[in-house]
Structure 1
Amino acid sequence: MSEIKLAAETRTEFGKGAARRIRRAHQIPAVMYGHGTEPVHITLPGHDTMMALKHANALLTIELDGKKHLALAKDVQRDAIKPVIDHVDLVVVKKGEKVTVDVQVHVTGDAAPETVVTVEQQTVQLEAEATHLPESIEVSVEGAVAGTQIHASDLVLPSGTSLVTDAEHLIVNISQAITAEALEAELAEAEAEAGIEHEEAGEAAEGEAAAEGETEAAAEGTDEA
């Protein structure tokens, strides 16, 4: 994807109080570091940064004091309740430099009927040029039958990338969907192992009839009295 430009300002205030003031001003506190330089504390525009970071592995152009720095979001701290970003760690990168990033696995297609598709690993690590980072990698399960397993080595990688994740790692597993009969049998077996017993339908009916008879007899006795 194309570079996203963000206008940053140098930050001179620190601590929780300063961070709250920055966020109230619709900005985000951040720190930028990398390539042997001292960490630089900055503020970023709140809305523009949130929109930019909706894209995975977004390449950011940070404009600070008349200079431009290419950077990637290394760590994004989000509020546990509100849809806001509390803090961002940025790592400076150079054009042509190779970096390792986590790339989201996106499953496409429909597997064979009566199967269950389980994504065992949500992301894979790829190495790619900093200026050509993929947002996601597609894995097709179209028509896949039960027993199919897709490992990292089976992935079709985006051009210019190489796999960092262990090639043997299981990414997607296709298993047979359990039928209602099989589920009922498993439940019955589990209950038997736990010593849980159920009344037979006939016994339950006899018990109900006996209880009704006792109720009627008691009612008759009351009327006679």
Structure 2
Amino acid sequence: MSELTLDAHKRTEQGTGASRRLRRQGQVPAILYGGGEESLAITLSHDQLVKAQELESFFSQVIKLNLDGKPVPVIVKAMQRHPFKPKVTHIDLMRVSGDAAVTATVPIHFVNEDSSAGVKAGGSVTHHLTELELRCLPRDLPEYIEVDVQTLDTGDTLHLSDLSLPAGVESVALSKGEDFDLAVITISPPRGGEAESDTEDESPQDSE
């Protein structure tokens, strides 16, 4: 995965009015926090940010923030969008360091669905989850988690505990206990259940 870089600048003006002016100028107000340092109000280029957030890995990778010429590794923690316009209105970024674990949301890639035993038998696939909340060191953060459903048959369900996560990566949900072993994907039997081909023909014989 190639490194993603975003340019940012410190800002001194804050408040609703200042944020509106920044947005009219093609800038996005943001907050940088964490890493044992004080929170910092910054701005980013709207065009650069919109292009970057189109990447699937935008929320699941360490980003190099070029803050007034100083590189700062960060991850995206929250992003606000305009309710009906294709605009980003605010973003929260958290500093990360190599020796401190981070929590991030990572997409799931399901593979071999069409060739799975259950789908071939006419079953339908239900995705209960499409992303996972993971905790790990920044260097271990995966771009995505691949889930192979090749061997799933009708009626089978994969849970979080069935997934193979990379070394050093843990599921936030599973760390809370067995009650949080959520379903990830299910292949349901065809509508109508099993075929009735085995049912004996019990139609009465004509009497003489």
TM-score (norm 1): 0.72
CA displacement at 1:126 relative to structure 2: 1.8
**1:157 maps onto 2:160 in alignment:** no
Alignment of 1:118-129 (within 5 A): 118-129=126-137
Task: Find out whether 1:172 has 2:175 as its counterpart.
Answer: no
Distance (Å, rounded) in 2 between the aligned partners of 1:120 and 1:7:
37
- Unaligned 5+ residue runs, structure 2? 196-208
Amino acid at match of 2:45: P
Note the residue ranges of structure 1 that are not aligned, 5 or more in a row: 183-225
> What residue in structure 1 maps to residue 65 of structure 2?
62
Q: Which residue of 2 aligns with 1:131?
A: 139
Q: Provide the C-alpha distance between the structure 2 equivalents of 1:154 and 1:51, rounded to a whole number of angstroms.
A: 35
Shift of 1:128: 2.2
**Letter of the 2:14 counterpart:** F
Specify the alignment match of 1:148 in structure 2.
156
The structure-2 alpha-carbon separation of the partners of 1:2 and 1:31, relative to structure 1 and needing over 3 Å to count, comes to same
Cα RMSD between the aligned structures?
2.2
Q: Is structure 2 residue 110 aligned with structure 1 residue 97? A: no
Structure 1 range deviating more: 12-21 or 68-77: 12-21
Instruction: State the secondary structure of the residue aligned to 2:191.
Output: coil
Q: Which moved more, 1:115-124 or 1:86-95?
A: 115-124
TM-score, scaled to structure 2:
0.78
After superposition, where does 1:81-92 map in structure 2 within 5 Å?
81-92=84-95
Identity %: 36
| Equivalent AA in structure 2 for residue 35 of structure 1 | G
Rounded Cα–Cα distance in structure 1 between residues aligned with 2:98 and 2:163 = 26
Does the CA contact (< 8 Å) of 1:2 and 1:59 recur in 2?
Answer: no
- What is the distance in 1 between the residues matched to 2:50 and 2:62? 14
Measured after TM superposition, the shift of residue 76 of structure 1 is 0.6
Structure richer in helix, relative to its length: 1
Larger Rg, first or second structure (1 or 2): 1
Residue type matched to 2:109 in 1?
Answer: H
Tell which has more relative contact order, 1 or 2 (C-alpha 8 A, sep 6+): 2
> CA shift at 1:122, angstroms?
2.4
Shift of 1:3: 2.8
Which residue of 71, 74, 79 maps to 1:71?
74
1:108 equivalent among 111, 117, 138 = 111
